[in-house]
Structure 1
């Protein structure tokens, strides 16, 4: 048993443990800040690669190591912080029990003011039930082990050199599906340095488009961050193959990542899609509450030949067909509007919508309305047929 002299001048065991945890946490925080600074410097060095040259492979490997270190240190800091918080709470409960009555022993002392002496022969009240134990503090999950991107690069390039292309492509597909966006972009860069003639980096970038829109867009941003312009373009072109139902989510992901120009480019490309696909996309955009994208898409489609525009107006839902005809009335020259009106003459509803768009601003469309009259086409809004139950 320790003597009083041996323990004099030393903090209690709990306080000593808390001091050690604080010291270790401070060291880890300093190391984490250093790893973050190193990661930022490596990113800047990679972005400074002149022209369209590939980033240096050694820089990419160092960046992967810095990210792994920074994330591991961050996870360990969280664990230590939780342990320290729990320990300090326990120490406070010991030092100030009056503030934590559920843990205080003094409340059981019979001479305490809150416990006056009981009259003789009086049965004491039953003790209060003990409070349930506090749930244990949640332990943050340990992050999964980061992949060895260098070894994965060597394996893929080795399979290519040996002619085992199916096996290499299977590895690329797995990497695109399982790697985090930052790791996927780093692997693309390493493959671009190791195998410039195999096309593996381009295939991996292209395959990333098969994942969820948020993940694919994050990979696109990481590729651009690393200066991998060719691979980023390959991934972006793969977005053009998305089905219409997936495009609204893709546009939203691009906007959230700050890549608004890509959203506009995608809509421009879709403006030349076949009529059934374009009609489907317009309907999906409308359903997802993106009216500005619907208008942009229909404006892009306004330059199609007259026959295509008639088919598009016929297949679109009525509200979107009206919007298309309004855009056509504004964007197309008079001679083309007259040609479109003649093609719609047999469709009373569509012709009426086009004419309503012209009559809404007669001063602006005076020339077009005169050309319609010269062509023998009606310029007065159609009247609704009288009901046989109406006034005679």
Structure 2
């Protein structure tokens, strides 16, 4: 004969429910504290950005910001831990209750509630975030290594921090080093972020600007100029996603003065990635180069890009320089390129009347070369 649940099992059930209620109360309290820490972190960021005329944020604000971030992450990890404990406890309580119901005689059993539509299985919970690094301890460690002459170890630690810390922590460490660290360490750390992925480097750049670290942000941005051509399309995409379109334009302007082989390589890479607008911008930036460079560039570019360059030159360069360019192309035997430049001039003849007259005076052709006639047309 099956017996009804004992007083002991009922007591265990009540004890478990009481423990669950305590966990819920603690979780609610931690969630409120986490929200407060997030608000404080946001206010400190706003205070740092609002500091007028500062190239270095206030050191006390930086320390408070580091503490607020550490507190927020710690509270978040504890909330996840309590949530998991509460879920496991409630599962045990439901299981124990079901066992007790199964042991009851039929006349004492409670009818289970209608489960309703079948619910989807719960998605697995993400693991708690890793513990945040102690930015103050890192600052002290780097400073101590410099002070004791262990410059190699200090440089290695800076390299690791630049690529392994998340963007917010990396920028915060830059700020602490700028305020308290050895001379140049903050700039080295900022430049080191350029050796990580484009997305991470751009995120660090945005965080440095948020903290008002203008000198370090400039150092990181200048490090972008050393990217190989193959990496520039990805960098431009990362800047666009971060809303830093002005930085993209500045990078293309800088690349416009790169040596001809590097410029040609970048134009080809941008074309391969479908960034035709960037190709046109790059070529417009290149039209101010010396005539000899432009003739060489037109020769080395892929045909379609060479055409774009020559049309940009026809629109932007003065007559005397266009004549020099035409003479360089004609002298190099680049008849196709000469014909494309001439075609661009003839397409807007009234505007380029002076240039066409100068070409005739220099003994250069001003009519497009006739297409070769078919031998079947000669009768």
Normalised TM-score (structure 2)? 0.84
RMSD over aligned Cα, in angstroms?
3.0
Gaps of 5+ in 1: 98-103, 110-133
Matched positions, count: 354
Match of 2:323 in 1: 338
Q: Counterparts in 2 of 1:121-200, with a 5 A limit?
A: 138-195=124-181, 198-200=183-185
2:371 aligned with 1:366:
no
**Closer, same or farther: CA 31–310 of 1 in aligned 2, 3 Å:** same
Contact conserved, 1:79 with 1:140, CA < 8 A, in 2? Answer: no
Alignment CA distance shift 1:149-1:3 (3 Å): closer
Residues 367 and 12 (structure 1 numbering): CA distance in 2 closer, same or farther, change over 3 Å? Answer: farther
Q: 1:87-138 CA distances to partner (integer Å, 9 max, x unpaired)?
A: 889999999x9xxxxxx98xxx9xxxxxxxxxxxxxxxxxxxxxxxx97752
Counterpart selection for 1:310 from 295, 313, 318: 295
- CA 1:12 to 1:195, structure 2 compared with 1: closer, same or farther past 3 Å? closer
Q: Structure 1 254/336 Cα, relative in aligned 2: closer, same or farther at 3 Å? A: same
Task: Report the counterpart of residue 348 of structure 1 in structure 2.
Answer: 335
Alignment correspondent of 1:241 = 226
Q: Are the counterparts in 2 of residues 329 and 337 from structure 1 also a CA contact under 8 Å?
A: yes
Deviation by residue 1:139-194 (Cα, 9 ceiling, x = unmatched)? 32121111111111111111111111111111111111211111111111111111
Residue 57 of structure 1 corresponds to 59
Q: Is the counterpart of residue 202 in structure 1 residue 187 in structure 2? A: yes
**Alpha-carbon distance in structure 1 between the residues aligned to 2:159 and 2:8:** 67
Residue in 1 aligned with 2:26?
24
Q: Classify 1:82/1:354 alpha carbon distance in 2 versus 1 (closer, same or farther; 3 Å).
A: farther
Say whether the 8 Å CA contact 2:48–2:57 is kept in structure 1.
yes
Q: Which sections of structure 2, spanning at least 5 residues, go unmatched?
A: 1-5, 107-119
- Indicate if the aligned counterparts of 2:199 and 2:235 stay in contact, CA closer than 8 A: yes
1:14–1:87 Cα contact (<8 Å) kept: yes
Aligned to 2:248: 263
Q: What's the CA shift string for 1:204-225, capped at 9, x where partnerless?
A: 1111111111111111111111
Within a 5 Å distance, the mapping from 1:109-128 to structure 2 comes to none
Q: Which residue of 2 aligns with 1:71?
A: 73
Structure 1 distance, partners of 2:168, 2:212, is 13
Q: Could you tell me whether the CA contact under 8 Å between 1:72 and 1:143 is conserved in 2?
A: no
SS at match of 2:7: coil
Write the deviation string for residues 201-252 of structure 1: whole angstroms up to 9, x where unpaired. 1111111111111111111111111111111111111111111111111111
- Cα distance in 2 for residues equivalent to 1:85 and 1:366: 83
**Structure with a larger share of its residues in helix:** 2
User: In structure 2, the residue corresponding to 1:344 is in which secondary structure?
Assistant: helix
1:329·1:358 contact (CA, 8 Å) conserved in 2? yes
Please give the TM-score of this superposition, normalised by the length of structure 1.
0.81
